[in-house]
Amino acid sequence: MASDLVNSLSPSYFSSMMNKTIETGDKPLLNLAVGIPDGKTPKVITDRVKSAIDQEENQKYGPFRGKTELKDSIKRFYKRTYGVDLQEENVAILFGTKNGLVNFPLAHYNPGVGIMLPNPGYADYITAVELVKGKAIDMPLLKENNYLPDFDALTEELKETDLIYLNYPSNPLGAVANKTFFDDTIERFKDSHIKILHDFAYAAFGFNEDHPSILASDPDFKTAIEIYSLSKGFNMSGYRIGFAVGNADMIESINRFQDHTNAGVFGVTQEAAIAALDHADELIPKQNEIFKRRKEYINEALINLGIPIQPIEGGIFGWIKVPDTFNGESFVDYLLKEQSILTTPGIPFGDRGENYIRFSLAVDEEILSTFVERMKEIKNLWENSASL
């Protein structure tokens, strides 16, 4: 029997989805539901893994807070890529970024903390609130504000808020934020009690320009931390490694929490991360170009069909308004039965996603082309529907 705390947590949508038996129509299944990059881990990384496995130091417990070499690599990467100067006190190694996103409030805050979450936003943010027995505060992301939070309209809500989650490029919206937004956000909150956690999982996918780090707007690290994933940009989702950087007090809370709950990331995995970051200048542009090509194809194809996609600006997901006679969940079922297309309903991302579906670009071009052809067969469903 699970504990009361575990039983109180919201169901994990993606866990249940990955274990669910899929019933499709007559066509071959197109799985566009999960955002796992479809490329192979680059050779420069796997070669490092092969050599690292034979190193005796990697067969024993390593430093609880990670190898100095990896933290140095992170510091070089952030300086080179974002112009941000990190010190060791500003870095925490994570067992995959989900661990950091979900556990941070538990490590840093007390029960009752007010946590403002984007709506729509990543489905597992709510677990972070529930684990710390905090209060979830709604942060609407609206088209008329380019899917950025309107803090001027949230004056009362901010009085109850201690921590804000941001995520750009956005999962599920494909929206982005520029440096001006981050500058303004840091200026607004830098002398307040409110801190910011920026989920930077899709940093590699800015498409039109390099996506800015929030830390470039917070050079003294007074206000924010940023959580960076190696899964997406480097095709390393199975390696389960990422890192948090920024405000020293917030980072120390993560490190102290992990001192008690873990015994250090596998040394070989850390060596793989070093290889990835040290070769990021060649690897990330290649990954970005693949997804930029897919993004441009999908944006144009679906818009030409009259299907109301939110134009993808960053990240690896598309966001579609469903026809008026459906909601997101019923339309996911319809697509499965009629077109053998598996997508994700918008409701796990917040109630503002109720009438939307999310699909992934993390499939090869042939699958995307087939997806477009099948959507063409049902484009008439949107003919009398409202726009986004």
Instruction: Please tell me the number of Cα atoms within 13 Å of 14 on its side-chain side.
Output: 13
List of residues 6+ apart from 152 with CB closer than 8 A: none
Q: What is the pLDDT of residue 210?
A: 78
80, 176, 320, 328, 360 from 97: Cα distances, Å: 22, 19, 26, 27, 19
Q: Compute the distance between CA of residue 45 and CA of residue 48 in angstroms, rounded to an integer.
A: 5
pLDDT tens digits, 64-76: 999 999 999 999 9
Give yes or no for a contact between 329 and 345, defined as CB atoms under 8 angstroms apart.
yes
Q: What is the pLDDT of residue 10?
A: 85
Bond into 120 cis (ω within 30): yes
The answer to whether 4-41+285-381 and 43-281 have equal CATH topology is no
Q: Compute the distance between CA of residue 346 and CA of residue 320 in angstroms, rounded to an integer.
A: 9
Q: What is the pLDDT of residue 292?
A: 96
Q: What is the pLDDT of residue 22?
A: 72
pLDDT tens digits, 150-209: 999 999 999 999 999 999 999 999 999 999 999 999 999 999 999 999 999 999 998 877
Q: What is the pLDDT of residue 174?
A: 96
Model confidence, pTM: 0.95
Domain boundaries, the chain: 4-41+285-381, 43-281
- Note the CATH number of domain 43-281: 3.40.640.10
Helices (H), 53-94: 68-82
Q: What is the pLDDT of residue 235?
A: 96
Q: What is the pLDDT of residue 13?
A: 73
- Strand ranges in the chain using DSSP code E only, listed in sequence order: 30-31, 91-94, 114-119, 135-140, 163-167, 195-199, 224-229, 242-246, 309-310, 317-321, 341-342, 344-345, 356-360
pLDDT tens digits, 34-49: 888 899 999 999 999 9
Section 269-287 average pLDDT: 97
pLDDT tens digits, 220-243: 999 999 999 999 999 999 999 999
Percent of the chain past pLDDT 90, that is, above it, reads: 88
Helix 267-278 and helix 280-304: axis angle, to 10°?
Answer: 80
DSSP string, 308-374: -EE---SSSEEEEEPPTT--HHHHHHHHHHHH-EE-EESGGG-GGGTTEEEEES-S-HHHHHHHHHH
pLDDT tens digits, 241-267: 999 999 999 999 999 999 999 888 999
CB atoms within 10 A of CB 168: 27
- Read off the tokens for 69: 């070499």
Q: What is the pLDDT of residue 387?
A: 65
Q: Compute the distance between CA of residue 197 and CA of residue 245 in angstroms, rounded to an integer.
A: 10
Bond into 172 cis (ω within 30): yes
Instruction: Classify domain 4-41+285-381 at the CATH class level.
Output: alpha beta
CB atoms within 10 A of CB 55: 11
Section 336-342 average pLDDT: 96
Size of the chain, expressed as the number of residues it contains: 388
Q: How confident is the model at residue 20 (pLDDT cuts 50, 70, 90)?
A: low
